[in-house]
Amino acid sequence: MKILVTGAKGFVGKNLCSQLHNIQDQNVCWYNLPEPIEAIYEYDIDSTLEQLNAWCEDADFVFNLAGVNRPQNQEEFMQGNFGFASTLLGMLKKHSNTCPVMLSSSIQATLAGRFGTLEYGKSKRAGEELFFDYAKETGAKVFVYRFPNLFGKWCRPNYNSAIATFCNNIANDLPIQVNDRSVEMELLYIDDLVDEMISALRGEVHYCTFDGVETVPVLSNSQNPSNFSEHLYCYVPVVYKTTLGIIVDIIQECARAASNVGGINMIELPQGSLRYKLMTTYLSYLPKEKAIYNFKMNVDSRGSFTELFHTLNCGQVSINISKPGVTKGEHWHHSKWETFIVVSGHGLIQLRKEGTNEVWKYEVSGDNIQAIQILPGYTHNIINLSDTEDLVTVMYCNEIFNLNRPDTFFDLVEVKG
């Protein structure tokens, strides 16, 4: 399979091409494409029309992502969006190449509501009609996507994405401007878009029509779009509707968590959620000096203990370093419970249920990583058995340490005499 991507160096193009190369290099296998990717032709502003012509003759699928977003004058919208689409489709017709073609359009092409008079939307609408006419004339499949607000890594800030601008400015301690927190936004994350576009290589897309700016799904992948008399657009089903104010609040919360300001609290980031994707996007804009931060190490003659991460609802993770021959612990908890995982060195973990004499002993080593559960009501310790090496233990506790109510009570595990 030979794939042509126009606008390959733009935000969407760069993300798409990187994943296509991952597929080509067999670094990912979950897309189940019908045949291997033989070539990826990346057309952008520095390419030549001769290259475009050759690639149009050779391509088995075309992603047309090229377009103009911020021209110096309004006339360039039509030239850059409609004009280039005409050139591309003309070259495909010249070579009688009826391979499938995907068009990157915009929700502004609905010309509904506040988009009714925008030249950008008009140019995108003209490009859509050109593609639909091309499909009728040639019989080629066309997949026309109207994108809402896109966000994700590698998006250019201070250009046409508010999220990219907010993430970049907050990460770099620059001011942001929010004129109206109540503005509603529909968001599409770049990885979700790329997954949908790669599915299009298998002919598996989601079809829809539009009621104003609202997407109206009309059929499943298994239905035949030729049964519908009106234009069928394509859409990505994973989108998020929220307000500008909520977006800014989440990004600022992500910034505090990533910078370790005011503690080491990890915010909740359910996989697949908008919060998860905004955190991922924010981190991609961090400058070099913010990609590192210090922890507070509690150091004494026995070694050190450092709290790594606090979570809002799931306790904390710490790392404990014990010097050779050192014993730590010798205490128990009412309700707290822990998990000890030795990752380096050679040690002994012991537990004894309060009020009993039986001692459970677990010899552990970084050569065979295991988790030892430290049970409520059991006094416990950890002993470095080495004479030369530090013992390094990752420790999870189900609650964050509370100095006012530590729930920690001294008692030796092994009582002599």
- CA dist., res. 216 & res. 234, Å (int): 10
Please state, in angstroms and rounded to a whole number, the distance separating the CA atoms of residues 389 and 322: 9
Which of 135, 313, 67, 112 minimizes the C-alpha distance to 213? 112
The predicted structure's pLDDT at residue 121:
81
Q: Which of 43, 120, 134, 240 is catalytic?
A: 120
* The token pair that represents 34 in the structure block: 């019908």
| Length of the chain, in residues | 417
Task: Kindly write down the DSSP assignment for every residue of 267-326, as one continuous string.
Answer: PP--TTSHHHHHHHHHHTT--GGGS-----EEEETTEEEEEEEEESSS-EEEEEEE-TT-
Q: Do domains 2-154+183-243 and 297-410 have the same CATH topology?
A: no
How many Å apart are CA 143 and CA 225, to the nearest integer?
Answer: 11
Q: 202 and 33 in contact (C-beta within 8 Å)?
A: yes
Two tokens at 337?
A: 């419970």
* Packed helices 274-283 and 162-171: angle between N→C axes, nearest 10 degrees: 50
Sign (positive or negative) of CA dihedral 307, 309, 310, 315: negative
> Are residues 67 and 104 in contact, defined by beta-carbon separation less than 8 angstroms?
yes
| Domain 297-410 homologous superfamily, CATH | Jelly Rolls (2.60.120.10)
Residue 192 CA to its chain's centroid (Å): 9
| Domain coordinates in residue numbering, the chain | 2-154+183-243, 297-410
pLDDT on residue 265: 77
Instruction: Report the predicted TM-score, pTM, of the whole model to 2 decimal places.
Output: 0.88
pLDDT tens digit at each of 417 positions of the chain: 999 999 999 999 999 999 999 999 998 888 989 899 999 999 999 999 999 999 999 999 999 998 644 445 555 444 545 678 899 999 999 999 999 999 999 888 888 876 666 677 888 888 889 999 999 999 999 999 999 999 999 999 998 899 999 999 999 999 999 999 999 999 999 999 999 999 999 989 999 999 888 999 986 545 555 555 557 899 999 999 999 999 999 999 999 888 865 456 788 889 999 999 999 999 999 999 999 888 899 999 999 999 999 988 899 999 999 999 999 999 999 999 999 999 999 999 999 999 999 999 999 999 999 999 999 999 999 999 999 999 999 999 999 999 999 999 999 999 875
Q: Does 378 participate in catalysis according to the annotation?
A: no
CATH 3.40.50.720, applies to 2-154+183-243: yes
Q: Distance between CA atoms of 266 and 281, rounded to whole angstroms?
A: 16
d(CA 279, CA 106): 25
Residue 364 amino acid letter: V
**What's the pLDDT at 336?**
96
Contact (Cβ atoms closer than 8 angstroms) between residue 151 and residue 191: no
Q: What percent of the chain has pLDDT over 70?
A: 90
pLDDT number for residue 220: 54
